[in-house]
Chain A
Amino acid sequence: MSVADAAGSDVFVWSMIVGIGIATFLIRFAPLALLAHLDLPEWLRQALRYVPPAVMAAIIAPPLFFVGGAPTIGPELPRAAAAALATVVAWRTRSTWLTVVLGMLALWGLRALVG
């Protein structure tokens, strides 16, 4: 990477961090500060309830099926299977640590079996 490229990517990353930071703060601050003037309509309240599950699932799913952006379901079968097992663990135990540890062990185990 040339010096100019490095500097360009530096500006890019800092703009990204500061931009998201400002937007996030304003979203968090506006309802507290504008209390009297801001009453969220019922439909928006309803819709916002579904943002966390929809977003989280959308973040989780693609890396389970694609490697490097190409739909190659075969080689990533261990990931999908380990994620399914982790879902059961999360459901039964509600423990982040157990979900992460058992999920990783499942991935390594399945890789060893397949690989």
Chain B
Amino acid sequence: MPQVPSTRVEFIAGLRAFAPLSMSILPFGMVCGAAASTAGMTSAQALAMSWVIFAGSAQIAATQLYAGGAPLLVILATPTIINLRFLMYGASLAPHFGTLDRRRQALIAYLLTDQAYALTVVRCAQTTDRRNLHWFYFGLAGATWLCWQIATIVGVLLGSLVPANWSLDFIVPLTFIAMLVPLLADRAMAFAAVVGGTASVLLVLPLRLNLIAAALIGVGAGLAADRLGKRA
């Protein structure tokens, strides 16, 4: 009979799982920090984005909308729609973390990221006794959080020093490309991405609602492609 992995073993396994992630989280966090400070936020505000919100795509979207002069309601609504995917992650983790006390659940919720979710699901599949799975999660997600905060600080400090003609803002789409491409597990996902991207370029909507509209159109396209693919 396999023993319950100790909290320490699980925590360290979580830290180990984090190590390769640092390669993608560091540049992305730096970009978030640099983008926020070049968009005109104070250093305190740029850093607060990372510890109050702690969600990279939402931070970048909010920063771009803010720089483009979007109204507050649109800036609030867009990242919220982007973050709706966390509902799915939370629902999928709930069977494992649903019995923990509220304080731990709140901490788990605050630390939830795409990466923490994905690797916890992998860990889940590898272990039979999951009573200490939350310690794996704390190791993984805690290290991710720390890495994100450090990267943001570096981004805020360096962002203003770099001359504009180096076009370092181009790192934003590049990091997103690096995250997006491995996500495209099937044709319907790729179709959702192509349609979402095209729609955001072609749509001209007031109040900078393009991003929300393009995202919804892309999701619709993915669903439609999925249906058609199954029927064929």
Contacts and interface: CB of A to CB of B under 8 A. Distances in A.
Nearest to B24: A96
Main secondary structure of the interface of B (DSSP, over half): helix
Interface string A56-73: 111111111110010000
Contacts of B169: 63
Contacts of A82: 170
B53 A21 contact: yes
Contacts of B192: 50, 53-54, 57
B86 A17 contact: no
Given A13-B66, A53-B189, A58-B218, A48 B87 contact: yes
Contacts of B94: 31-32, 35, 38
B175 A100 contact: yes
B87 A53 contact: no
A18 B222 CA distance: 32
B100 to A, nearest CB: 8
Interface in A5-55: 9-10, 12-21, 23-25, 27-33, 35-36, 38-40, 44-55
A27 B214 contact: no
A62 B200 contact: yes
A50 B178 contact: no
Given A13-B45, A28-B110, A58-B214, A83 B174 contact: yes
Contact of A50 (B28, B58, B222): B222
A2 interface: no
Interface string B152-169: 000000000000000111
A61 B198 contact: yes
Contacts of A52: 57, 85, 114, 180, 183
Contact of A48 (B88, B105, B184): B88
Contacts of A16: 62, 66, 72, 75-76
A87 to B, nearest CB: 5
B28 to A, nearest CB: 7
Contacts of A51: 81-82, 84-85, 215, 219
Contact of A18 (B52, B83, B95): B52
B225 to A, nearest CB: 9
B88 A63 contact: no
B170 A103 contact: yes
A79 B171 CA distance: 11
Contacts of B180: 52-53, 56-57, 60, 90
Contacts of A108: 167
Contact of A58 (B181, B188, B215): B215
A103 B109 contact: no
A96 B151 CA distance: 15
A107 B165 CA distance: 11
A55 B218 contact: yes
Nearest to B219: A50
